[in-house]
Amino acid sequence: MTSPTKAEGSGPSAALDPELDSNTEPAEAAKLEGRSPGQLMWQRFKRDRTGVVSACVVIFFFVIAALAPVISALYGKDPYTLYAQEPDYPFLLDDFAMPTGSLGGISGDFWFGVEPKLGRDVFTMLLYGMRTSLFMAVVVTVFSVLTGVVIGMVSGYFGGKVDYWLGRITDFFLAFPQQLFFIAFMPVVTALFVSPTDETPTYLRAMAIILVMWFLGWMGMARLVRSSVLSLREREFVEAAKVSGASPARIVRKEILPNIVTPILVQGTYMLPSSILSIAFLSYVGVGFVEPTPDWGRMFAIGSEIYEQDPAFMFFPGVAMVIFVLTFNLLGDSVRDAFDPKTGR
Amino acid sequence: MLQFLIRRLSGAVVIMFLIGAFTFFLFYSIPQDFAELACGKNCSPENIAVIRENLGLDKPITTQFWEFMTGIVTGRDFPQGHCSAPCLGVSFDSDQFVWDSIKDRFPLTLSLTVGGLVIFLLFGLGTGLLAAWKRGTVVDKLVSGSSMVLSSFQIYFLGPIVLSILVYNTGWLDFPKYVDFTENPAKWFMGMLIPWAVMATIFTAQYTRMARSTMIEQLQEEHVRTARAKGMRQAYVFFRYAWRGSLIPIVTIIGMDLSALLSGAVVTEFTFDLAGIGRLAVDGSLSKDLPLTMGVMLFGAFFILILNIIVDLAYAYIDPRVRLA
């Protein structure tokens, strides 16, 4: 938990504590070098080498995912073309439709090899697959975090009956067997939008995945926010704000929210990789994205069919995912440590 | 104790009812005729009418829902015959009683979950304790580092790796296959060994990290320091004082992870091509088989709720401050 300094500074009680506040008294700040909790956190984070490296790797993943079209244009291939049928590459696949050459057909033309059977380029498939997964995971995480924060805030701040019923609803959703729910409801939610006889467009599939995952994604955050708000609600600076006549909206926004940003941020960093894994799982099982949408999880589905003959295919998507999840978790730990140096590892 | 059980079980019944209602009505909001689906292609209108009557689809939705829910307690009669007490209806697709399909598939999922749970608790807590005991040494660094990396693996990536090493390249083990425990315990064990190992590895890694950090936290507590100060043996302090205290947060997390455990079992089923509850759920949902999906959802929820109650009982056993009332 960060100190309530920042909230006090922006709240009505700022005048009580002038030397801690660098924003309103710039002249004094130059002498005393007062730092906001954010600045302190940034300084601690910069010193944590693991954290900085992980942050760089995570940013690298996001950048190559965002630049996938540019990279694949420079590289000269795309994830849809069946290169085995192109006249330019006559001997890409052998008679058993497996890549010729060692290690899944890695060559100067195909950096990460060739997909068995269809002869697509693994490198661009992975790039675009990551793009799909990261985009979906970010959307799901943002939605879940927002929902969780709102519900947690309401039940923590208002308490009483509201808290009781929101708590029961949260418990109810927690009782759902999550993965079974995802599997069982993906087709149902898709069928709500499209008649079963029609082809489902990709954006509708994406929407259905987001809906289903959002639906069961917010409870952890809601509980966390609720408990943080509960402990803050009784603190002096909140009571001072109440006494001075601030509206509940203002208290929530200006007094409480700045003080719970830390746990929300940390929890959010842990949520993102787990939603990537859940989305990948859906496609892996066959209820998420389908051909020909490039997707990280679907590469594992393809890989698991042919790993006996061509284990190299799964290598790059798998290693990329392990590195991504690992660095993201390390980043989450570093962010937590930077905000709250008391939790030693 | 009895009061606690009654209260928790009645809570579970309410939650199951709500989950059932939710699933049921969501399914009925699909603009689709289930009788047509059940009939398959090239179906005459008369056939559809017959099926609709057989499946009870001609009645109002609320009546159907009520019949379904009461059927779980009392059993129901279908044209296929009598469906006894925990009756979850008849599958639209296969015409079998859903309860029978679940009963067929469940031993596999149960073996996976419980076996996996035992393995990862043993190894995860064990290595976590070891790392905390040897804190700061090479052993600690090795355990912490490898658990960090392993916890980032996925079952569907680790599974094929293990299979290609142990099954295809060396031939030390056979491809995982489920044999019923009552039939042949040795074969059951050998068949489940790889799935257990793969599933447990990822959970083990997570629990190692957790056990280590809670243990280290506990070792800094004041009562532990006092015990040390009065000259108690290191091992005694470690196991009697710190270990007992660190079990409490661990059991709490196990309770929260039960749903993840079932999910892990489902992923493992798919990775090793085992026909369990997860496969049943996918079949049911892809063919929009309402009773099957209802059955699997309710059963999964029931399973988690029961395990949760067991965890809460364990909680009271470990922490004397918690009284069940």
Q: How far is CA A13 from CA A22, A183, A226, A230, in A?
A: 14, 52, 24, 21
- Do B136 and B233 lie in one domain? The reply is yes
Q: List chain B residues with CB under 8 Å of A286.
A: 282, 286
Average confidence score pLDDT of chain B: 82
The pLDDT value recorded for residue B40 is 62
CA–CA distance, B2 with A100 (Å, rounded to integer):
68
Confidence of residue A21 (pLDDT cuts 50, 70, 90): very low
CA–CA distance, B284 with B93 (Å, rounded to integer):
8
DSSP letter for each residue of A41-63: HHHHHHH-HHHHHHHHHHHHHHH
For chain B, what is the radius of gyration of the CA atoms?
A: 24
- Do B55 and B148 lie in one domain? The reply is no
- Do B162 and B180 lie in one domain? The reply is yes
Residue at which a domain ends, from B60, B93, B126 = B93
Answer whether B219 touches A (CB < 8 Å). no
Structural domains counted in chain B: 2
- Write out pLDDT tens, residues A61-91: 999 888 888 888 887 777 777 776 776 666 6
Q: Which residue of A has its CA nearest to B164?
A: A308
**Residues A177, B263: C-beta atoms closer than 8 Å:** yes
Helix-helix angle A219-233:A160-174, to 10 degrees: 150
How many angstroms away from the CA of B77 is the closest CA of chain A? 26
Q: List chain A residues with CB under 8 Å of B285.
A: 183-188, 287
pLDDT beyond 70 at A190: yes
Q: List chain A residues with CB under 8 Å of B267.
A: 179, 281, 284
Q: Where do we find the tokens 């925990």?
A: B86
Q: Which of B9, B37, B266, B309 to substitute to test the interface with A, most A CBs within 10 Å? A: B266
Name beta bridge partners: B83: B76
CA–CA distance, A197 with A69 (Å, rounded to integer):
33
- Could you list the beta-strand ranges (E) of chain A: none
Q: What is the mean pLDDT of residues B242-268?
A: 83
Q: Which residue of B has its CA nearest to A278?
A: B263
Answer whether B15 touches A (CB < 8 Å). yes
Task: State the amino acid at position B145 in one-letter form.
Answer: G
- Do B209 and B253 lie in one domain? The reply is yes
Q: Is A254 buried (19+), middle (13-18) or exposed (0-12) by CB count in 10 A?
A: middle
- Could you list the beta-strand ranges (E) of A269-324: none
- Do B142 and B240 lie in one domain? The reply is yes
- Do B84 and B136 lie in one domain? The reply is no
**Residues B259, A178: C-beta atoms closer than 8 Å:** yes
The pLDDT value recorded for residue A149 is 93
CA–CA distance, A61 with A340 (Å, rounded to integer):
27
Answer whether B23 touches A (CB < 8 Å). yes
**Residues A175, B153: C-beta atoms closer than 8 Å:** no
Nearest CB to A191; choose among B15, B157, B288:
B288
Confidence of residue B101 (pLDDT cuts 50, 70, 90): confident
Closest CA to A324 of A274, A289, A287, A264: A274
CA–CA distance, A187 with A224 (Å, rounded to integer):
31
pLDDT beyond 60 at B313: yes
| Tokens encoding A57 | 């790797």
The pLDDT value recorded for residue A10 is 43
Q: What is the mean pLDDT of residues A271-284?
A: 87
- Do B63 and B149 lie in one domain? The reply is no
| Percent helix, strand and coil across chain A, each to the nearest 5 | 70, 0, 30
- Cα B79 to chain centroid, rounded: 33
| Tokens encoding B172 | 């030390």
| Tokens encoding B314 | 């364990």
- Write out pLDDT tens, residues B137-182: 888 888 888 888 888 888 888 888 888 888 877 777 777 878 777 7
Answer whether B263 touches A (CB < 8 Å). yes
Contact A314, A307 (CB under 8 A): yes
If DSSP codes are grouped into helix, strand and coil, which group holds residue A93?
Answer: strand
Confidence of residue A341 (pLDDT cuts 50, 70, 90): low
- Do B66 and B152 lie in one domain? The reply is no
- Do B205 and B61 lie in one domain? The reply is no
Contact A109, A89 (CB under 8 A): yes
The pLDDT value recorded for residue A95 is 67
Provide φ and ψ at A94, rounded to 5°.
-85, -170
CA–CA distance, A213 with A233 (Å, rounded to integer):
31
CA–CA distance, A78 with A63 (Å, rounded to integer):
18
| Percent helix, strand and coil across chain B, each to the nearest 5 | 75, 0, 25
If DSSP codes are grouped into helix, strand and coil, which group holds residue A116?
Answer: coil
Provide φ and ψ at A114, rounded to 5°.
-125, 145
Closest CA to A127 of A82, A74, A61, A203: A61
Give me the total of CB pairs closer than 8 Å, taking one residue from chain A and one from chain B. 130
Contacts 24+ apart (CB under 8 A), A89-95: A89/A119, A92/A119, A93/A117, A93/A119
What pTM, to 2 d.p., does this model score?
A: 0.80
Answer whether B149 touches A (CB < 8 Å). yes
- Do B15 and B41 lie in one domain? The reply is yes
The pLDDT value recorded for residue A343 is 53
Give me the CATH number covering residue B129: 1.10.3720.10
Closest CA to A336 of A264, A273, A275, A271: A264
How many angstroms away from the CA of A307 is the closest CA of chain B? 7
The pLDDT value recorded for residue B246 is 85
| Tokens encoding A309 | 């003959």
Confidence of residue A140 (pLDDT cuts 50, 70, 90): very high
Q: What is the mean pLDDT of residues A115-125?
A: 79
Residue at which a domain ends, from B44, B68, B93 = B93
Closest CA to A241 of A16, A12, A4: A12
Nearest CB to A311; choose among B164, B271, B301:
B164
Quick one: which H or E segment has residue B230?
Answer: none
Residue at which a domain ends, from B63, B93, B123 = B93
- Do B34 and B52 lie in one domain? The reply is yes
CA–CA distance, B191 with B170 (Å, rounded to integer):
17
Q: Where in the sequence is the domain holding B314, given as residue range(s)?
A: 99-324
**Residues B154, A322: C-beta atoms closer than 8 Å:** yes
**Residues A180, B29: C-beta atoms closer than 8 Å:** no
Answer whether B306 touches A (CB < 8 Å). no
Q: Is A80 buried (19+), middle (13-18) or exposed (0-12) by CB count in 10 A?
A: middle
| ipTM of the prediction greater than 0.85, yes or no | no
- Do B71 and B121 lie in one domain? The reply is no
